[in-house]
Amino acid sequence: MAALTFPDVAWLPLLPLLVITGTTLLVLVADLFAEGPDYDALGWLGLIGLLLAVLTAVPLWNQSGTTLGGTLVLDRYGLFFTILFCVGSGLTVLLSMNYLETTDIRCGDYYTLILFSTIGMVLMATSLDLIVIFLGLEVMSVAAYALAGIWRTQVRSNEAALKYFILGAFASGFLLLGIALVFGATGETLLPRIGEVAAKGSAEQRLLLSVGAALLLVGFGFKVAAAPFHSWAPDVYEGAPTAVTAFMAAGIKAAAFAAFVRVFVDSLGPLAGDWRGALWFLAVLTMTVGNVSALVQRNIKRLLAYSSIAHAGYLLVGVVVGGESGSAALLFYLVVYTLMTLGAFGVVIALGRRGQPHEDLDDWAGVGLRSPFLGLAMTVFMLSLAGVPPLAGFMGKFYLFSAALEAGYVWLTVIAVVNSLVSVYYYVGVLVKMYMAEGGAEVETAAARPYLFATLVAALAGTLLLGLFPTPWFELARRSVESLAS
Amino acid sequence: MTTVPASWYAFLGVLLFTIGALGVLVRRNLIIMFMAIELMLNAVNLVFVAFARQQQTMDGQVMVFFVMTVAAAEAAVGLAIILAVFRNRETVNADEVNLLRW
């Protein structure tokens, strides 16, 4: 029998990814033996795996290297995002255990799909090759399409999945054509070598590369829901099951930004003159459209969807600034954003009951008084999203906008600050409804839903911690972007 | 024997991509929209192969396999979603799927 030689593979950089993948497959198989109607055991299995992945990622902090022909990289930037995604997915799983009871979603696949999506996110953040980034994006997105439609009997969930799928696949096409043109210009898909061509290629190569970059911008713009490519987001966020919406708003957006920064700031940095202007415009348009549309929303999920579009605009400011200060501020803000968004959607879930989702703002009247804990939690998350000191959202915006100011983007900073002021109106509007109106829905006590309660406490603690003691965390973000080339 | 420059194939790919993108935007039947998306992905495959030929490297041809795999996975999930919509709404017209504001 002919023996096959096994290729030399550096396993170390793959370790966190392998742990998550192993867990996912284990959950997939365990689903066969699990008995309904609750599949919490699968959720716990996934949580343990995600925790293990974090525990394997942390000791790798001072290591670096590449593997599999330079396509996957071990660096602090990748590890930072790996840990962030594990935390985000872990909180989503915890959030879901109590949420699924109130829905007709009775299948273990739910947890498997969340884990599959997490694999895709980690791939996106740790890859140095455009094709692997694309594969990661698809692994993440295809699982997310299925998640959006997992409440099969509910028409709104079907519709959300449909819109997400059509526009997501449409965007993937643009991203892919961008990759093809970049490949045509350089003969390469490895980011470092594309960077070399971008720095000192011929005029012809750079022209083709710029057209490719424009198409990549459209593709990523769709994924992070930047205006004018945002039209899918409010519908999908409203229709998808709330726990899935939280996952999409937090995890998937962060993953898209992870790849966005790696490709644009790191690799295509030398061409910044060509794309920075377009991105500046995109950032301004995104935050303005998001904030102005949020002003008139009556449905809390739609309001949070527009709020997440506005936040994509603030995050784009970090990409425009680029360099170490811009990227570090972006990473810090993504952590903050993940925590407060998951928290806000957690409160939305806490208010819903079986058959009564209570998503209309009118249902929220007086909830703050009847349920002090939920009132407090929502107050912290809303004020943090609005950027009120001393909460984490304020520190995130502070780092982001001061980086923009230092880099000389005065007008961008002014527009961003004005936008944050506008946003205070609708965030506080929710609080006014919760505390100063009467006649809304009855709420269950938090103790009836222990996992949801735990998620909210974790998100609250994170929002306060990052707001009160931001320095060590920002330092962590700054050291994570040191490994990027520019 | 006539020879065709590799760049012509790339242009043809971009042209097909444009037709696909317009198809998604103009047509309202979900199945047709989905076919147009497939056309976009396969047009990119042509661009990849043309550039691979031009650059004298196999990389571009390998990528086509990845793209085909992804397209197949997307087709499986996408058709399942369209089917789920059809079961509940008895329509495959995008304009009639309007419970949420589009």
pLDDT tens readout for residues A371-411: 889 999 999 999 999 999 889 999 999 999 999 999 999 99
The pLDDT mean for chain A works out to 91
The confidence band for A116, taking pLDDT boundaries of 50, 70 and 90, is: very high
Smallest Cβ–Cβ distance between A169 and the set B17, B37, B50 belongs to B37
The pLDDT value recorded for residue A369 is 87
> Which residue did the predictor score with more confidence, A38 or A205?
A205
The confidence band for A2, taking pLDDT boundaries of 50, 70 and 90, is: confident
The pLDDT value recorded for residue B72 is 95
The confidence band for A486, taking pLDDT boundaries of 50, 70 and 90, is: very low
The pLDDT value recorded for residue A306 is 95
- Mean pLDDT of the A129-134 span: 94
Of B63, B66, B34, B61, the closest CA to residue B49 belongs to B61
Which pair of tokens denotes residue B7?
């760049």
The pLDDT value recorded for residue A445 is 65
The confidence band for A223, taking pLDDT boundaries of 50, 70 and 90, is: very high
How does pLDDT run across A453-470, given as a tens digit for each residue? 999 999 999 999 999 999
Smallest Cβ–Cβ distance between A176 and the set B14, B30, B44 belongs to B44
Q: CA-CA-CA-CA torsion for A268, A269, A273, A277, nearest 10 degrees?
A: 80
What is each CA distance from B58 to A8, A195, B46, in whole angstroms?
22, 21, 14
Number of C-beta neighbours around residue B18 at 10 A: 13
Q: Are A256 and A125 in contact, with CB atoms under 8 Å apart?
A: no
The pLDDT value recorded for residue A216 is 94
- Confidence check: pLDDT of A449 > 90: no
- Confidence check: pLDDT of A446 > 70: no
> Which residue did the predictor score with more confidence, A384 or A107?
A384
pLDDT cut 70: percent of chain A above it: 99
Model ipTM value: 0.95
The pLDDT value recorded for residue A27 is 95
The pLDDT value recorded for residue A145 is 95
- Confidence check: pLDDT of A181 > 60: yes
The pLDDT value recorded for residue A478 is 92
Contact between B88 and A160 using a beta-carbon 8 Å cutoff = no
Contact between B74 and A188 using a beta-carbon 8 Å cutoff = no
- Mean pLDDT of the A148-155 span: 91
- Confidence check: pLDDT of B95 > 90: no
Contact between B99 and A234 using a beta-carbon 8 Å cutoff = no
Q: Are A266 and A486 in contact, with CB atoms under 8 Å apart?
A: yes
Sequence-separated (6 or more) residues with CB below 8 Å from residue A205: A185, A186, A197
Contact between A135 and B10 using a beta-carbon 8 Å cutoff = no
Q: How many residue contacts between A and B have a Cβ separation below 8 Å? A: 122
pTM above 0.90, yes or no: yes
- Confidence check: pLDDT of A1 > 70: no
How does pLDDT run across B39-92, given as a tens digit for each residue? 999 999 999 999 999 888 888 899 999 999 999 999 999 999 999 999 998 888
- Confidence check: pLDDT of A447 > 70: no
The confidence band for B101, taking pLDDT boundaries of 50, 70 and 90, is: low
Write down the domain spans for chain A.
12-485
The pLDDT value recorded for residue A224 is 92
The answer for B 45-74 residues in CB contact with A (under 8 A) is: 47-48, 50-51, 54-55, 57, 59-60, 63, 66-67, 70, 73-74
**C-alpha–C-alpha distance, residues A348 and A71, integer Å:** 40
The confidence band for B32, taking pLDDT boundaries of 50, 70 and 90, is: very high
Q: Are A238 and A299 in contact, with CB atoms under 8 Å apart?
A: yes
- What are the two backbone dihedrals, phi and then psi, of residue A360, each rounded to the nearest 5 degrees? -80, 140
pLDDT cut 90: percent of chain A above it: 71
Minimum distance, in Å, between the CA of residue A170 and any CA atom of chain B: 6
How does pLDDT run across A426-436, given as a tens digit for each residue? 999 999 999 98
**C-alpha–C-alpha distance, residues A64 and A61, integer Å:** 8
Q: ω into residue A390 within 30 of 0, thus cis? A: yes
Contact between B40 and A177 using a beta-carbon 8 Å cutoff = yes
Question: H or E stretch including A23?
Answer: helix A15-33
Of A346, A317, A325, the closest CA to residue A257 belongs to A317
Contact between B89 and A166 using a beta-carbon 8 Å cutoff = no
Which pair of tokens denotes residue A451?
């996992």
How does pLDDT run across A323-367, given as a tens digit for each residue? 889 999 999 999 999 999 999 999 999 988 888 888 888 888 888
